[in-house]
């Protein structure tokens, strides 16, 4: 649950706020879009608009990385893209393992958006013997028991939990035991992990429940947004 901001005990003062880290991939995408449009230089206004954020926030975010812009001119799209990519580790590909190849796990294994963002689904794993050995998105499903071997062999540090909630904790334990140090949890359950392991949670139901809350409020009040 707690994403630790590594304090960097040594001198190299580099504590990028979590909120900023979460937006850097968005900026990267916006820069890629600009490149495709043939734009080679952009202002913080241009980029902010493409990314859907306030220009001041964008500039502040970028200031945590360094001074990569030119006053009076703006940012060089390609140069900035490279700097952000380097900062968030996108100059290399990251191999991930997906645990659970039900509907969601299968969909994730086929997700096109990963490959263009430096994420490579390197292995699929399932506890169900009936699924082990089948091929999904061109990858043969392995047994959960083979997790340690797979993680070590492919140097995987990121695991995705796409199992039912009841299996989530056990899967998390096994991932950690196998050497995984970052987990993306899609299961609707809380997972406990030791210090040094990051967990992020994506809860599909909760997102909809939040929208439902706002819908209910809209229905309750006549006017929604005061002009």
What crossing angle do the helices spanning 55-63 and 18-36 adopt, rounded to 10°? 110
Beta carbons of 138 and 145 less than 8 angstroms apart: no
66 is in an annotated binding site: no
Residue selected from 1, 4, 8, 18 as contacting DNA according to rule CB under 7 A: 18
Asked whether residue 4 is marked as a ligand-binding residue, the answer is no
Q: Where are the beta strands (DSSP E) in the chain?
A: 41-42, 69-70, 74-76, 94-99, 119-126, 135-136, 139-143, 158-161, 182-185, 198-201
> 3-state SS of the chain: helix, strand, coil percent to 5?
45, 20, 40
57 binds, among its own copies, DNA, none (CB under 5 to 8 A by kind): DNA
Q: How many residues bind DNA (CB under 7 A)?
A: 26
The number of C-alpha atoms within 13 Å of 95 and in the hemisphere containing its C-beta is 12
Window 80 to 119, contacts with its own copies (CB under 8 A): 87-90, 94, 96, 103-104, 106-108, 110-114, 117-119
154 binds, among DNA, its own copies, none (CB under 5 to 8 A by kind): none
Classify burial at 152, counting beta carbons within 10 Å of its beta carbon; exposed 0-12, middle 13-18, buried 19 or more: exposed
- Contact set for DNA, span 161-200 (CB under 7 A): none
The yes or no reply on residue 70 touching DNA (CB under 7 A) is: yes
One residue of 45, 115, 134, 192 binding DNA per CB under 7 A: 45
Using CB under 8 A as the binding rule, the residues of this chain from 48 to 67 that contact its own copies are 50-52
- State which of residues 76, 128, 170, 203 lies at the interface with its own copies (CB under 8 A): 203
Buried b (16+ CB within 10 A) or exposed e, 156-169: bebbbbbbeeebbb
What the block records as the tokens of 216 is 């209910």
Site string for DNA, 73-92 (x = CB under 7 A): xxx-----------------
Are the CB atoms for 97 and 148 separated by under 8 Å?
no
Rounded least distance, CB 200 to DNA, Å: 14
Confirm or deny that 100 is annotated as ligand binding: yes
Q: Tell me the closest approach of the beta carbon of residue 32 to DNA, in angstroms.
A: 18
* Sheet architecture: strand order including 139-143: 135-136, 139-143, 119-126, 94-99, 158-161, 182-185, 198-201
Among its own copies, DNA, none, residue 45 binds (CB under 5-8 Å by kind): DNA
28 assigned to a ligand binding site: no
Query: Out of 9, 13, 19, 227, which residue is the one contacting DNA (CB under 7 A)?
Result: 19
Residues that bind DNA (CB under 7 A): 17-20, 42-45, 53-57, 59-60, 62-63, 67-75
* Binding-site residue ranges for NAD(+): 100-105
């Amino acid at each position: 649950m707690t994403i630790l901001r590594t304090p960097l005990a040594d001198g190299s003062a580099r504590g990028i706020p979590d909120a900023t880290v979460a937006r850097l991939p968005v900026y990267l995408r916006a820069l890629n879009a600009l490149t495709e449009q043939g734009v080679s230089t952009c202002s913080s206004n241009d980029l902010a608009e493409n990314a859907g954020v306030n220009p001041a926030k964008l500039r502040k975010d970028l200031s945590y990385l360094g001074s990569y812009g030119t006053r009076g001119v703006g940012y060089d799209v390609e140069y900035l893209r490279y700097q952000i990519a380097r900062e968030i580790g996108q100059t290399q590909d990251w191999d991930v393992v997906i645990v659970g190849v039900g509907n969601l796990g299968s969909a994730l294994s086929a997700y096109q958006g990963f490959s263009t963002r430096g994420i490579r689904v390197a292995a699929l794993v399932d506890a169900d013997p009936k699924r082990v050995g089948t091929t999904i998105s061109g990858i043969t499903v392995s047994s959960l028991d083979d997790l340690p071997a797979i993680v070590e062999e492919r140097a995987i540090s990121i695991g995705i939990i796409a199992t039912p909630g009841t299996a989530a904790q056990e899967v998390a334990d096994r991932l950690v035991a196998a050497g995984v140090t970052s987990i993306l949890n899609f299961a609707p359950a809380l997972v406990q992990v030791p210090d040094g392991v990051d967990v992020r949670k994506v809860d599909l139901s909760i997102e909809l429940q939040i929208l439902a809350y706002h819908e209910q409020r809209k229905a309750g009040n006549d006017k929604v947004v005061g002009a």
